[in-house]
A and B are shown apart, each in its own frame.
Chain A
Amino acid sequence: MYTTLICDDEPDIRSALRIYLTGEGYAVREASNGMEALEILSREEIHLVLMDIMMPGMDGMTATAKLRQHSNVPVILITAKSEDTDKIAGLTLGADDYVCKPFNPLEVLARVRAQLRRYAMLGGMPAASSALRCGGIRMDDEGKTVTNWGEEVSLTPTEYDILRLLLQHPGKVFSSREIYQKVWREAPLSAEGTVPVHIRHLREKLEIDPANPRYLKVVWGKGYKLEEDGK
Chain B
Amino acid sequence: MKKLLESKGWRALALFLCLVFGLMTVACGACGLYDYFEFGMDPGAEPNYTESDFYYAYVHERPLSSRLEDGYVNLYMFLFNGRMVFLPLAGAGLLLTLALFAFLLASAGRTPEGVELRGVHRWPLEVYAGLLAAVFLVGLMVLFWIVEEIGYIAYLGIAIPGLAAAVLAMGAAVLLLCMTLAARIRAGQWWKNTVCYFLLRLCGRLLRALGRTLIAAVRAIPVAWKLALVFCGVSLINIFGIVLMVESRGYEGFWLFALFLVDLAGLAASLLLGVQLRRLRQAGQAMAAGDLSYTVDTQKLWGELKAHGEDLNAVRAGLSRAVNERMRSERFKTELITNVSHDLKTPLTSIVNYVDLLKKEEIESPQAREYIKVLDRQSQRLRKLTEDLVDASKASSGVLPVSLETLDLRELVTQAGGEYAERLSRAGVETVTTLPEGECPIRADGRLLWRVLDNLFLNVCKYAQSGTRFYVNLQPMDHGAALTLRNISREPLNIPAEELMERFVRGDRSRSGEGSGLGLSIARSLMECMGGSLDLSLDGDLFKVTLYFPQ
Q: Is the CB of B352 within 8 A of A104?
A: yes
CA distance A105 to B450 in the complex (A): 27
Find A80's partner among B346, B352, B435 (CB 8 Å cutoff): B346
Q: Is the CB of A13 within 8 A of B421?
A: no
CA distance A81 to B353 in the complex (A): 18
Tell me which residues from 385 to 432 in chain B have a Cβ below 8 Å from any Cβ of chain A.
Answer: 386-387, 390, 407-409, 411-412, 414-419, 421-422
B449 neighbours in A (Cβ, 8 Å): 220-221
Question: Taking CB as reference atom, which chain B residue is nearest A52?
Answer: B346
Q: Is the CB of A196 within 8 A of B383?
A: no
Question: Taking CB as reference atom, which chain A residue is nearest B440?
Answer: A221
- In the assembled complex, A223 has its CB within 8 A of some CB on chain B: yes
The distance from the CB of B447 to the nearest CB of chain A, in whole angstroms, is 6
Question: Taking CB as reference atom, which chain A residue is nearest B343?
Answer: A80
Once A13-B353, A101-B345 are accepted as A-B contacts, the answer to whether A200 and B419 lie under 8 Å apart by CB is yes
B415 neighbours in A (Cβ, 8 Å): 176, 196, 218, 220-221
Please provide the 7 A-B residue pairs with the shortest distance between their CB atoms, ordered closest to farther. A196-B418, A221-B407, A220-B446, A16-B353, A221-B412, A102-B349, A220-B450
Can you pick out 30 interface pairs between chain A and chain B where the beta carbons lie within 8 Å of each other?
A10-B350, A12-B354, A13-B350, A13-B353, A16-B354, A16-B357, A82-B387, A101-B345, A101-B349, A102-B345, A102-B348, A102-B383, A102-B386, A175-B408, A176-B414, A190-B435, A196-B417, A197-B422, A199-B418, A200-B421, A220-B407, A220-B412, A220-B449, A220-B450, A221-B407, A221-B409, A221-B412, A221-B450, A222-B446, A223-B411
B407 neighbours in A (Cβ, 8 Å): 220-222
B447 neighbours in A (Cβ, 8 Å): 220
- In the assembled complex, B19 has its CB within 8 A of some CB on chain A: no
The distance from the CB of A215 to the nearest CB of chain B, in whole angstroms, is 17
Binary interface encoding of chain A residues 214-231 relative to chain B, with 1 for a CB under 8 A from any of its CBs, else 0: 000011111100000000
A196 neighbours in B (Cβ, 8 Å): 414-419, 421
- In the assembled complex, B444 has its CB within 8 A of some CB on chain A: yes
A140 neighbours in B (Cβ, 8 Å): none
Q: Is the CB of A219 within 8 A of B446?
A: yes
Tell me which residues from 332 to 350 in chain B have a Cβ below 8 Å from any Cβ of chain A.
Answer: 342, 345-346, 348-350
- In the assembled complex, A207 has its CB within 8 A of some CB on chain B: no
The distance from the CB of B383 to the nearest CB of chain A, in whole angstroms, is 5
CA distance A196 to B424 in the complex (A): 14
B350 neighbours in A (Cβ, 8 Å): 10, 12-13, 16
Tell me which residues from 243 to 282 in chain B have a Cβ below 8 Å from any Cβ of chain A.
Answer: none
- In the assembled complex, A193 has its CB within 8 A of some CB on chain B: yes
Q: Is the CB of A102 within 8 A of B352?
A: yes
B387 neighbours in A (Cβ, 8 Å): 82
CA distance A167 to B419 in the complex (A): 21
CA distance A127 to B420 in the complex (A): 38
The distance from the CB of B403 to the nearest CB of chain A, in whole angstroms, is 12
Once A80-B342, A220-B449 are accepted as A-B contacts, the answer to whether A103 and B349 lie under 8 Å apart by CB is yes
Q: Is the CB of B418 within 8 A of A101?
A: no
Told that A194-B418, A200-B422, A222-B407 touch, could you supply 19 new A-B pairs with CB distance under 8 A?
A: A10-B350, A13-B350, A16-B353, A19-B357, A104-B352, A175-B408, A176-B411, A176-B415, A177-B411, A193-B417, A193-B418, A196-B418, A196-B419, A219-B446, A220-B407, A220-B412, A220-B415, A221-B408, A222-B411
Tell me which residues from 2 to 48 in chain A have a Cβ below 8 Å from any Cβ of chain B.
Answer: 10, 12-13, 16-17, 19-20
CA distance A193 to B415 in the complex (A): 7
Once A176-B411, A196-B414, A220-B415 are accepted as A-B contacts, the answer to whether A13 and B346 lie under 8 Å apart by CB is yes
The distance from the CB of A186 to the nearest CB of chain B, in whole angstroms, is 17
A59 neighbours in B (Cβ, 8 Å): none
CA distance A80 to B345 in the complex (A): 6
Once A175-B408, A190-B435, A221-B407 are accepted as A-B contacts, the answer to whether A197 and B352 lie under 8 Å apart by CB is no
The distance from the CB of B507 to the nearest CB of chain A, in whole angstroms, is 25
B422 neighbours in A (Cβ, 8 Å): 197, 200
Q: Is the CB of A105 within 8 A of B353?
A: yes
Q: Is the CB of B411 within 8 A of A175?
A: yes
- In the assembled complex, A209 has its CB within 8 A of some CB on chain B: no
Find B418's partner among A19, A175, A197 (CB 8 Å cutoff): A197
CA distance A159 to B309 in the complex (A): 68
A218 neighbours in B (Cβ, 8 Å): 415, 450
CA distance A68 to B109 in the complex (A): 80
Question: Taking CB as reference atom, which chain B residue is nearest A203?
Answer: B419
B444 neighbours in A (Cβ, 8 Å): 221
Tell me which residues from 437 to 461 in chain B have a Cβ below 8 Å from any Cβ of chain A.
Answer: 442, 444, 446-447, 449-450
- In the assembled complex, A96 has its CB within 8 A of some CB on chain B: no
- In the assembled complex, A161 has its CB within 8 A of some CB on chain B: no
- In the assembled complex, B356 has its CB within 8 A of some CB on chain A: yes
CA distance A82 to B446 in the complex (A): 18
B348 neighbours in A (Cβ, 8 Å): 101-102
B50 neighbours in A (Cβ, 8 Å): none
Tell me which residues from 87 to 121 in chain A have a Cβ below 8 Å from any Cβ of chain B.
Answer: 101-105
Which of A17, A82, A101, A197 has the largest count of B CB atoms less than 10 A from its CB?
A101
B357 neighbours in A (Cβ, 8 Å): 16, 19-20
- In the assembled complex, A49 has its CB within 8 A of some CB on chain B: no
Question: Taking CB as reference atom, which chain A residue is nearest B434?
Answer: A190
Q: Is the CB of A221 within 8 A of B346?
A: no
A16 neighbours in B (Cβ, 8 Å): 350, 353-354, 357
The distance from the CB of B124 to the nearest CB of chain A, in whole angstroms, is 76
B411 neighbours in A (Cβ, 8 Å): 175-177, 221-223
CA distance A110 to B429 in the complex (A): 33
The distance from the CB of A108 to the nearest CB of chain B, in whole angstroms, is 9
CA distance A105 to B409 in the complex (A): 36
CA distance A182 to B533 in the complex (A): 36
The distance from the CB of A59 to the nearest CB of chain B, in whole angstroms, is 14
The distance from the CB of B405 to the nearest CB of chain A, in whole angstroms, is 8
CA distance A194 to B419 in the complex (A): 10
Tell me which residues from 176 to 214 in chain B have a Cβ below 8 Å from any Cβ of chain A.
Answer: none
Question: Taking CB as reference atom, which chain A residue is nearest B349?
Answer: A102
B346 neighbours in A (Cβ, 8 Å): 10, 13, 80, 101
A199 neighbours in B (Cβ, 8 Å): 418
The distance from the CB of B358 to the nearest CB of chain A, in whole angstroms, is 11
- In the assembled complex, B329 has its CB within 8 A of some CB on chain A: no
Question: Taking CB as reference atom, which chain B residue is nearest A103?
Answer: B349
CA distance A105 to B407 in the complex (A): 36
The distance from the CB of A127 to the nearest CB of chain B, in whole angstroms, is 34
- In the assembled complex, B285 has its CB within 8 A of some CB on chain A: no
The distance from the CB of B318 to the nearest CB of chain A, in whole angstroms, is 35
